[in-house]
Amino acid sequence: MGDEINNNYPAAPDFISETPVNLPANQPQAEYGSDLIAELIGALGHEYIFLTPGSSFRGVHDSLVNHTKNHKPQIILVAHEEIAVAMAQGYCKATGKPAMAFLHNLVGVQHATMAIYNAMADRMPVVVLGGSGPADPAQRRKTDWIHSANTQCDIVKDVTKWTDEPITLQGCLDSIARAQRIATSSPCSPTYVSVDVLVQESNLPEGVSLPDVKKPRYLPAPPVAAPRESISSAVEALINAEWPLILGGRVGYDKATTPVMTELVEILGAAYQDGHDIICMPSNHPQNLNASFGRTKAEGEYKKMLMAKTDVVLCVDCLDISNNIGAYEGARGAGEEVAAGKMTVIDLSMNDFTIQHWTHLGGPLHPVDIQVQADGLYGLKQINAEIRRRAKEKPPWLAKAKDRRAEIANMHDKLRLSQLEAMKLKWDQVPIYLPRMTAELFNVVKEKDWLLAARNYRAWYDGIWEFDSAGQFMSNSIGGGIGYGPGGIIGSALAGRDQGKFTVAIIGDGDFTMGPAAIWTAVHYKIPIMIVLHNNTSFGNDEEHQITLAYRRGRPAENAWIGQRMVGPEPDYCTIARGYGAWAEEPVRDPEELAAAFKKAADVVEMGGVALVDVHTSLN
């Protein structure tokens, strides 16, 4: 029969499981290059591999199924390469472990480039493999010429930490192992290795062996510690501050951060805020002054007052310090204080090790006065240890810290009360007011062991959803790529399923529109998740920009919706979700129906299902 295809197999077999059949009880000896590649992926610790099928890695695909039996790793079939990499990114966030995606050559890699950029911005250790070639022109089919490149890595060099294009099997095995070490060594970032078709499909050559990935040379480098002098300078500034402020950054993915951060905030008597769309401290901690600044005029004034009081700010693993401290024009209302140099800025991060030559990711040269270059959590522990040492002698600053704690706790109580009062003013608004949607949703899930896989940052209002610690919230794309949401939340939900958590996510309708096929993957692999669609029928961020510009130019703001609103017709997201096998009823337009709709969806998820609730919301 040769390579002839047997067309007698059913086009849509009854789905029970994806356990391969008609295979020997024991794993056979590797016969082909792809067999060793599949074994290596499992040896590197990957439970799953996210992929969209492609002929350029048919050898590895066969080996994953028929050699390693779709077990460690298990194939997670995804309908689009960008979604596949987004799922890997979301999985990394929720597990703290590397994830792997396999892409079709050239065309698949180009599809996924935006998602790789997001993962790079998020500093996630996503190891990406891409089928390639054949490098030998004599072996190429017609389609191979369309899909082949001289240097395929060139497509992703600007959005990865390291790339390689090995031409032998041993080189490929060594490169994949090295790619994972580089991706997982701080500061983490995606890596990419192309895997030639002939390397995959050829018989095993003599002398090839799997790398011993347990050896230190293949393990991630230890966390980077800060020099003693840097720690001393930072601590000196913090304990002598009249009003210290701590901003928590991406260390918020790790639940181990919360006790360390809490200790620092309490002993210093410092105010605390999350840096940007991340959670490091419990919401109800009396020194947590998080607020959705800019949502209301009162909160904008509050932020301006707070930053004016601050004389020392410690940014812990914050990606864009200029944004966090308000150095940009109009950002958080603190630009004048920063420009005047009234604030000492301490940067605890490895930001200088992530500088990109082609993107402005992370902002300009930050107005930093004390640089503490270290792994975020490790450096935080160093600072705590030094502060504890100095506190043993009962110095005067401890008394000042105690007085500040009382003052900040009073501010916390007033802030939370003002947030609740602001929410009540529009509680019955139609279209539905976003804080009410958030409050009703939290009320349904708060007693569960929940994981919040995403929230719509610009539509988020603090003081409503009560976080207990870091590691409960997976943030957004970080790279600003709309379309991350559907794939990212399913990747996090896969980890949540294995951890026994109830995963819930809030994403925008524009974000969902770009990747709804991710729902099929969730349903197919029985990944429970409750998806709440914040549906304002608009690319709302840009509609706000059109309104702002219209007022500035003296033009009619009534036209801001044109080219922004998805109406006439409105997409039927519930039907789309049901088409992929998820549970969905009708859109919720009446705020009084929210609680019941969320309760029904939660019950579906508790039973292992995928549920979508389409909530028609206001633009703000």
Q: At what angle do helices 484-499 and 107-121 cross, to 10 degrees?
A: 70
pLDDT tens digits, one per residue of 350-383 = 999 987 778 888 888 888 999 999 999 999 999 9
| Angle made by CA atoms 159, 456, 429, in degrees to the nearest 5 | 160
pLDDT tens digits, one per residue of 50-84 = 999 998 999 999 999 999 999 999 999 999 999 99
Q: What is the mean pLDDT of the segment spanning 193-202?
A: 95
What is the reported pLDDT for 296?
Answer: 58
Residue 395 has pLDDT above 60, yes or no: yes
pTM check: above 0.75: yes
Q: Residue length, the chain?
A: 620
**CA 243 → CA 236, 308, 339, 344, distances in Å?**
14, 10, 18, 11
What is the reported pLDDT for 146?
Answer: 79
What is the reported pLDDT for 306?
Answer: 81
Residue 332 banded pLDDT, cuts 50, 70, 90: very low
Average pLDDT over the chain reads: 91
Q: At what angle do helices 434-445 and 594-606 cross, to 10 degrees?
A: 40
Residue 138 banded pLDDT, cuts 50, 70, 90: confident
Q: Where is average pLDDT lowest: 220-224, 272-276, 291-295, 423-427? A: 291-295
pLDDT tens digits, one per residue of 551-610 = 999 999 999 889 999 999 999 999 999 999 999 999 999 999 999 999 999 999 999 999
Strand partners, 314: 246, 346
Residue 247 has pLDDT above 50, yes or no: yes
Does an H or E element contain 370, and which? strand 370-373
What is the reported pLDDT for 331?
Answer: 44
Exposure letters 579-614 (e unless 16+ CB within 10 A, then b)? ebebbbbebbeebebbeebbeebbebbeeebbbbbb
Give dist(CA 275, CA 326) in Å, integer: 11
Residue 334 has pLDDT above 50, yes or no: no
pLDDT tens digits, one per residue of 434-476 = 999 999 999 999 999 999 999 977 667 788 899 999 999 999 9
Residues of the chain above pLDDT 90, percent: 73
Residue 251 has pLDDT above 90, yes or no: yes
Q: What is the mean pLDDT of the segment spanning 17-33?
A: 89
What is the reported pLDDT for 1?
Answer: 39
DSSP reduced 3-state for 468: coil
What is the reported pLDDT for 336?
Answer: 56
DSSP secondary structure string, 317-332? S-S-HHHHTT-STTGG
**What is the separation, in whole angstroms, between the first and last Cα of the chain?**
63
Q: How many other CB atoms are found less than 10 A from the CB of residue 417?
A: 11
Residue 48 has pLDDT above 60, yes or no: yes
Residue 366 tokens read as 């930050």
What is the reported pLDDT for 295?
Answer: 56
Q: Which residue matches tokens 């008394």?
A: 399
Nearest Cα neighbor of 438 from 617, 604, 238, 580 is 617
How far does CA 450 lie from the centroid of its chain? 17
Does an H or E element contain 100, and which? strand 99-103
Residue 4 banded pLDDT, cuts 50, 70, 90: low
Q: What is the mean pLDDT of the segment spanning 244-258?
A: 96
Q: Amino acid identity of 578?
A: R
Domains and CATH numbers, the chain: 33-218 (3.40.50.970), 228-424 (3.40.50.1220), 429-616 (3.40.50.970)
pLDDT tens digits, one per residue of 260-288 = 999 999 999 999 999 888 999 999 999 99
Sign of the torsion angle spanned by Cα atoms 356, 358, 363, 365: positive
Residue 354 tokens read as 């992530």
Give dist(CA 100, CA 86) in Å, integer: 11
How far does CA 225 lie from the centroid of its chain? 25
| Angle made by CA atoms 252, 256, 260, in degrees to the nearest 5 | 90
Strand partners, 99: 126
Residue 14 has pLDDT above 80, yes or no: no
pLDDT tens digits, one per residue of 340-355 = 668 899 999 999 998 7
Residue 252 has pLDDT above 60, yes or no: yes
Give dist(CA 503, CA 493) in Å, integer: 6
How far does CA 381 lie from the centroid of its chain? 24
Residues of the chain above pLDDT 70, percent: 93
